[in-house]
Amino acid sequence: MSSGNREILFEKFEIKECLKKDQYSSVYLADHIYLGKEIILKSLKLSEDLDKTIADRFKREAKILALLDHPNIIKVLDFGTFENHFYISFEYFRGKNLRELINLNDLNLDEKLSLTKQLLSGLNHAHNLGIIHRDIKPENIFVNEKLELKLGDFGLATSATENLVTEQNSLVGTPSYMSPEQIMGEELTSSTDLFSSGTVLFELFHGFNPFLGKDINETISRLLNYSEDKTAEKINSGNIELDELLKKMLKKSPSHRLQNAEEGLKILGMKKPEIYTSKKSTKNEKKVVGLFTIAAVIIAIVVFLPSRIEDEKPIPILKDTSTAVSEINSTDKGLEILPANIDEEFNASNEKQTINPDEVKTNLSKQVETDPLEKESIKYGELFVECIPWADVYLDSELVETTPIAKNIRIKTGKYNLKLVHPEFPKYNVGIEVDENKVTNIKVNLNELMAEIDFNVFPWAKVIINEKMVGETPLGESVKVIPGDVKITLQNPEFVSFDTTLTLSRGEKKRLVYKFKEQ
């Protein structure tokens, strides 16, 4: 499909430029039609002759990035499948990779220290969620003109639920930045990333990689046989705290190494890092730490923009009708759609139920385990769900899948209550009816269920929404929030902080205009 002179991929990406392409995968600069922003699009063509490890890596990257939400980590916007392709869309972060900056060699000590702290902050967030990157190197670290850093390429990353032991005959990562235990195929922990990061930082401050040999064999030999004392002698960054940090990060034994990124930040004199909520909650996730704010006796000017939706009525979904929010269709025009309902409760209980997958399969299979004489009367249809950015899929309160879904869900014909759950969006409910030998396709953009806030602050401020740091003004775009009461804090070190609460309904957009008052 094309729009004017531009190609449209997967019915929602307007291609601006092809950055890279090979037999199976492609990388594009594109405009996300639904989100209205410039993005990076990665796609993978699924075919029988495609190496399974390539597909697994691609899907792993999408699912792991969906867990991460931190200013120092490249953000995934959405991912899914379309016909015979799998795709991921990322935020477009304009800048260079760290390799280019190392080669330019024009950063001063303070600038390098700032990058060091940002890298450790991003790692701290990932490690707190049980995610190990496994391939940290300069090419996977990106920096813009403001010297803001983001860590990317989580294609080799593993989560706490995966097996963290590397096969003896398989090297996963880039050898010259690997830890000794990674090369030996031992169990990997967050300490592995810290060693790799230490190697990257050594190169950033000293201009060369201490373990890089003439070939892969010499590199591996150096990593397995290096002297900690001799390596420590080479460390002379010009900053005592940083030298201490690098020496701890490059310890050969994980048990003697820097234990976590937060410890590294403390060595550099940085206070305990802010905790960012993840996109998908985990059992071990720490509670968000409230940021300290000071009440201000100042009047804020709040300009209320017209609401895109006048009231809180459920989004109507009619037969043969599509909206910006939801498109539900079937290969049979006779599909019956029941009223949709959006659960807009704004509380911390928005956690997915813990359901044993085997129980789900058993419960669904009960639909067909009937008397043999009645089997002929059992009829089946199929369901396919695509959701932006992603969601857990519930049928009649039972978790059956998490998008992106690789294949259609085969279920007994009949009426179901479908619920889509994402921890940072309102719950989406819709009644559907599955017909015999037909595929019911459901496409939902959860972003359209949100409210939005624009910020106009003079001179500038850190914006904190519901105790979560969003960024510094000017933000460049409006901030999407879950409808309901939204707590806002504006902070500027030169002024008294400002606190307020706005109440927004679904689809509503408001602008907060504020000028700090001289003390």
Residues 13, 30: contact at Cβ < 8 Å?
A: yes
The single-letter code of the amino acid at 83 is: E
DSSP notation for 236-260: --S-HHHHHHHHHHT-SSTTTS---
Catalytic site includes residue 78: no
Placement of tokens 């060091």 in the chain: 116
Residues 231, 210: contact at Cβ < 8 Å?
A: yes
DSSP notation for 363-392: HHHTTT---GGGGGG--EEEEEEEEES--E
Token pair for 157: 């990353």
Three-class SS state of 284 = coil
Report CA-CA distances (Å) from 490 to 69, 117, 291, 375.
Answer: 20, 23, 11, 64
Within 8 A by CB and 6+ apart from 372, the residues are none
Distance (Å, rounded) from C-alpha 239 to C-alpha 206?
12
Token pair for 270: 């940085």
Which of these is catalytic: 31, 69, 135, 435? Answer: 135
Report CA-CA distances (Å) from 157 to 162, 253, 267, 375.
Answer: 10, 21, 26, 45
Report CA-CA distances (Å) from 252 to 203, 290, 401.
Answer: 17, 37, 42
Report CA-CA distances (Å) from 184 to 131, 213, 214, 228, 337.
Answer: 20, 18, 20, 18, 56
H-run or E-run covering 340? strand 337-343
Distance (Å, rounded) from C-alpha 444 to C-alpha 423?
15
SS3 content of the chain, % helix, strand, coil (to 5): 25, 30, 45
The single-letter code of the amino acid at 199 is: T
Distance of CA 153 to the CA centre of its chain: 11
Active-site residue set: 135
